[in-house]
Every structure is written in structure tokens, then in C-alpha cells.
Amino acid sequence: MISEHGLVSLYRGFWSMLCCSVISRTVRYAVYQASRKKDQKDDDNSSGYDIWLYVAGLSSVLVSTPFDVVTTQIQNSVGPYNTLSITKHLWEAEGILGFFRGLVPRLLKFGILGSILYFPSSLLKKHISELFYKTDVE
């Protein structure tokens, strides 16, 4: 690959991947902050926190999937394709659904990884807060 297209071919799809990451994290942060503010008005419960984390993650997956599909197409293409030509080709060949190819596995991955990463950290946070912030003095 390097001998045919040069060192630049290793960075194919970099800009669309960067765009995907920025948009994904921006949407996740915005949805999470907006929903936390709404939840804090109701009352301060941790179950609402869990739900809003999940909603924020799902929102970022839904918004970033089209960018991820375009990035994957650019990285797998042979020839001088760019983001615009790949996007145009996907739209003409598959329509809007072509941009959401692989959405279900991404959503499943998010759900499984979110559970694996969140629950141990929430248990650790709970035990640390109980250990260091006891209100009962004996």
C-alpha cells in the first residue's frame, strides 16, 4: 500500500474519523448535560444518572454512525476517493439507510461495554464514598 500510494495512504479517512469523534463527543456531552439539568430539577437520584448516561451514549452513536460508515468506506476503497465522492456514492447506491449500516452492532457494543465499564466504577465510587464520607461517628 505504501509503495503504491505513499505514506499518506496510511492516514486515509483521518478527517472523516476526526469529524466523527468530535461530533460524537459533542452530542454525548450536550445530551448528558441537558438531561442532567432536567433531572436535577426533579430530584437528585442516581438511577436518573444511569439512564441519562445511556441516553447520551445512544444519541452519540446514532449521530456518529453515518460518519463512521463513510470513514470505513474511505479506508477500504481503492483509488483516489475522498469523503465527498464516497458520500455521494453511498447516497446514490443505498439511500439514507446506507449511512446507518452497522448501527445495531454499534448499539449492542455500546450497551455491553457501557455495562462492563459503568457498574464496577459505580460500585467502587459507592464504597469509596461510604469509606471516606461516613456521617456516623462512633
Q: Are 58 and 107 in contact (CB under 8 A)?
A: yes
Going by C-alpha positions, the residue among 133, 109, 136, 123 that lies closest to residue 46 is 123
Helix intervals (H) in 43-102: 46-76, 83-94
pLDDT in tens, the chain (138 residues): 667 666 766 777 787 788 888 888 888 888 878 877 766 665 555 555 667 777 777 888 888 899 889 888 888 877 767 788 888 999 999 999 999 999 999 888 876 776 676 667 667 777 787 777 765 544
CA distance 24 to 69: 13
CA distance 115 to 53: 11
